[in-house]
Amino acid sequence: MSPEPERLLEVSGVVKRFGGFHALDGLSFHVSPGEILGLVGPNGSGKTTAINVISGLYAPDAGSVSFLRSPVGGMASHKLVHLGINRTFQVPKPFMSLTVKQNVEVAHTYGNASDKALPMADLLERFHLAEVANRPASDLTNVQQKTLDLVRALATQPKLLLLDELAAGLNPTELDWIAGEIKTLAQSGLAIIVVEHLMGFIEQITDRVIVMNAGKEIFEGTLAVAVTVPEVVEVFLGGEHAA
């Protein structure tokens, strides 16, 4: 056994610019297998941009992203899915005219695991989609579209799962349920980055958080400690007042 956990993902000094604006401004952090890392920060702090860079939607303008010790910054999303990185979207984007089952089958076919059997029935049952399996995605509620997005990502059998505000819009019972499922996934060895504004949810599931502001990390550690740091408190209060 090695004394240090293996680093599955290493983000180092990543910069992402939109015109002259630095959405990410030297972001660095790492994630290990089986770890649930929270990525928190006020609106516009760069959380989704970080997920977009790690999942290959955008290439970083500077810095590096490595996965399983290989550089992957700027690699296309479909290649990253094959390597084992997949994500959900802040606003889910299933294929609306396809059924739930077909959406999951497409993900499986194009994903990392197309040569392995897909436990479709189990997945749909576990994520409360069995009764809508043959309905088009456009018929689903917002919460069902979110869980479908998660099941599509899981169907590709990722090693690193990026969840962008999966819990937003869920009721307390659904939050408890999805928190339990996320923890179970991590216990199986999956590394999970959770972007979320709901601090109770973050506290319930994360091992560690990165607090972001203006494209940078301003804190790394447990949420319990984060809330005692004046700069962190100020950033969140400032964000609320600005909203």
Ligand X SMILES: Nc1ncnc2c1ncn2[C@@H]1O[C@H](COP(=O)(O)OP(=O)(O)OP(=O)(O)O)[C@@H](O)[C@H]1O
Q: Contact positions toward ligand X, by CB under 6 A? A: 18, 23, 41, 43-49, 90
With binding defined as CB under 5 A, does residue 103 bind Mg ion? no
CB of residue 168 to Mg ion, shortest distance in Å: 10
Rounded to whole angstroms, the Cα distance separating 113 from 116 reads 5
Of Mg ion, ligand X, none, which one does residue 44 interact with (CB within 5 to 8 Å by kind)? ligand X
Rounded to whole angstroms, the Cα distance separating 148 from 60 reads 29
Judged by CB, which is closer to Mg ion: 27, or 100?
27
With binding defined as CB under 5 A, does residue 48 bind Mg ion? yes
CB of residue 57 to Mg ion, shortest distance in Å: 12
Rounded to whole angstroms, the Cα distance separating 15 from 24 reads 5
Residues 6+ positions from 177 with CB-CB distance below 8 Å? none
With binding defined as CB under 5 A, does residue 52 bind Mg ion? no
User: Positive or negative, the Cα torsion across 68, 72, 76, 77?
Assistant: positive
CB of residue 54 to Mg ion, shortest distance in Å: 13
Judged by CB, which is closer to ligand X: 1, or 242?
242
Of ligand X, Mg ion, none, which one does residue 46 interact with (CB within 5 to 8 Å by kind)? ligand X
For residue 164, CA distances in Å to 88, 122, 215 come to: 6, 24, 16
Judged by CB, which is closer to ligand X: 135, or 216?
216
- Residue 91 CA, distance from chain mean position: 12
Tokens representing 7?
């680093």
Query: Residues in the site for Mg ion, rule: CB under 5 A?
Result: 47-48, 90
